[in-house]
Structure 1
Amino acid sequence: MTVFPPARHDALELEELFTPEEKAIKARVRAFAEQHAAPIINKYWEKAEFPHELRSKFGELGIGGAHIKSHGCQGLTTMGAAAAIVELGRVDGSLSTFFLVHSYLGVMTLGLLGSEAQKAELLPGLSNFSKVAAWALTEPSNGSDASALTTTARKVPGGWILDGRKRWIGNATFADVVIVWARSSETGQVNAFIVRKGNPGFRATKIEHKISLRCVQNADIHLTGAFVPDADRLPGVESFADAAGMLAMSRCMVAWQPVGLVTGVYDMVLRYTSQRRQFGAPLASFHLVQERLARMQATIQAMYLMCHRLSQLYDAGRMSHEQASLVKAWTTARAREVVALGRECLGGNGIVADFLVAKAFVDAEAYYTYEGTYDVNVLVAARGQTGYAAFKTAGRANKAPPPTH
């Protein structure tokens, strides 16, 4: 199916939450996703390959530079970025993730924590997607407990030697630069380093057999004596707290991803059930189908509003880790419900990729799991409510500061 259905999901006219400039971004990205991505994405999804033919079109959208306002970057607002994330995810979850990893982990880390020389060299190409960034924090043995990373950075004359492993790193098989987080031999603190394509001590191997976000090229990374010059250490990173700060901002953006996924599912299901006839009548005329459609649409409106409020708090400098975790956990959980209802409405056609819904059904599982699993995020949120941290590690008390919300 090459013609994407019209957008019919906005029951409460929530697009009015966007400024004219943000609406323009939304329109550009929607046109790109519907006209260029939708006709080809299924074949790449089937092969678990990234659609590199779309990269030049990505560069024309004016979205690659995230919030950064220098060196060619566009300085998107939070809602402008949300508009791009939602419209990409409406057609394909992998494209939304590619954009988020590149812009809101790679570009933002360089733009906020890099040196002037690093920004001047790398940001112009990254902002127009002629270069691609990846961000390597997670390790095979450290996912939710990312602060326990074991990758090391040993100081040597003129630079650093990186050794260790990373896992689930999006874009890493073809990225031009990878931001690698490693523990410094000098301070014992976590630092960040730019590892460039072609570094002989860097090897990225694609993770095979994924059922979710199949177009995203997640990789296992092996760092074996990888030399990084002093000029490629990010000077603004002093500890894991800097990585946590980037993740909090990214989590706000990730909370929007399920919104895009469910809007696409709803639009597809509404068209399908209106056109598909059984027992002499359109499926959309059946009571049970109408109940599902109404429940899907209502949930989408609630997801939109929670993300909008979180974005407001972020822009005001008042967003906490607990708030970001609460919204990310809730939107990903609700997305699973919406895509499941959509799959039911399509019957047997709900398990083939042709109608988008099956693809969205499995992509929702990745959103539910990455940037903190649902369980970890709800426990972070509950820490803010109760003042107690449910995570207990050796030698660390589980008493948290008093709740602030």
Structure 2
Amino acid sequence: MADLSDDELLAELGVAIEQPKARTYTPREERIIAGFEDIVRFHEEHGRPPQHGEDRDIFERLYAVRLDRLRELDECRDLLTPLDTLGLLNTAQTVAPVSVEDIDDDALLAELGISVEPDDDDIRVLRHVPSADERRAAEEIANREKCQDFSRFKPLFEQVERDLETGVRTTRPFVKDAGFLKSDITKGQFFILGGQIAYVADFGESFRAPNGETDARLRVVYSNATESNLLLRSLQRALYKDEAGRRITESEAGPLFAAAAEDGDLESGTIYVLRSKSDHPTIAAHRDLIHKIGVTGGSVEARISNAARDATYLFADVEVIATYSLYNINRAKLEALIHRVFATAQVDLTIQLGSPVKPREWFLAPLAVIDEAVARIRDGTITNYVYDPKQAALVVC
């Protein structure tokens, strides 16, 4: 019992622990909090609260005026005290305040998001204050810099583009009501934002923002060789606001072997490897290495029964070298995946019989490598590999 936590001890005694309900704020309270967050951010950047004084920056002096008003109003103190981890509401100013008239006009107040209504000139009332997070998000999205080590990431973007073309990856639109959370954004994910593919290259340590929510700093690299250091919340908000924003799915083999059949799925299927008996010079010279790799939902024998009259089979009989039985496969996706892996080894053949024909499913690859590829298809790791003809082996892409 000594090892039990307080919550566990209470549970043992049958005492139910009610979880505190998340508080909701009125629009006015949200504006007050947003105004206070600006002051907190100033303190984080400068190591001190904003102060009065003619030698101070005009914006710091306005922040100081705002802080004075927040200290004076009991409703503001009650609202902000739980968020005031720096003790700003209790810190007395050591410099005599200057008159608001000395700071000047509504245009400067508007720069800080403090709007004075025509019939109400009380500066204590904060109106139309945009969220500090909203301003940071706009700034961070715009402030992209050149990615100095883009050569590291370029192959990743090229691979993602190929995966999208072949159907290994797909894109999903962002719908806020669908419940996509900050926690769903992780290192290594790809998105489409602002017309560019965005890659989450680094994910910093989590921290608690002034409003109490968790956040983190991200390094996001874009396909146009730029990058930005975004907050997690800023990236999420930008994706929601971008009507063309998309999440790029992971390159996993899972959908090929789904537990439940979907449209286009097969109850069973077979990957087959064929060797041609053609007397074409290229085929004859490399007969033991040139293979046709395909997928069928029926009998392989029935599939190749008319090989000698089919351009796909080089107008020649074929020999079945290997077959592999699989279950719950989407044939189109699987064939696209196999052809992507062996794309660099595609045999450039032209068969002349009437009109010239260029078969596409023949590859210069040893049977042992094809065996390995099938094994990786089964365990789901194939999407991390491509075939390298120089090494005659699968290599990590």
Q: Provide TM-score, normalisation by structure 1.
A: 0.21
- Greater Rg, structure 1 or structure 2? 2
Larger helix proportion, structure 1 or 2? 1
For CA contacts below 8 A with separation 6 or more, give which structure has more relative contact order: 1
TM-score for the superposition, normalised by structure 2: 0.21
Higher strand share: 2
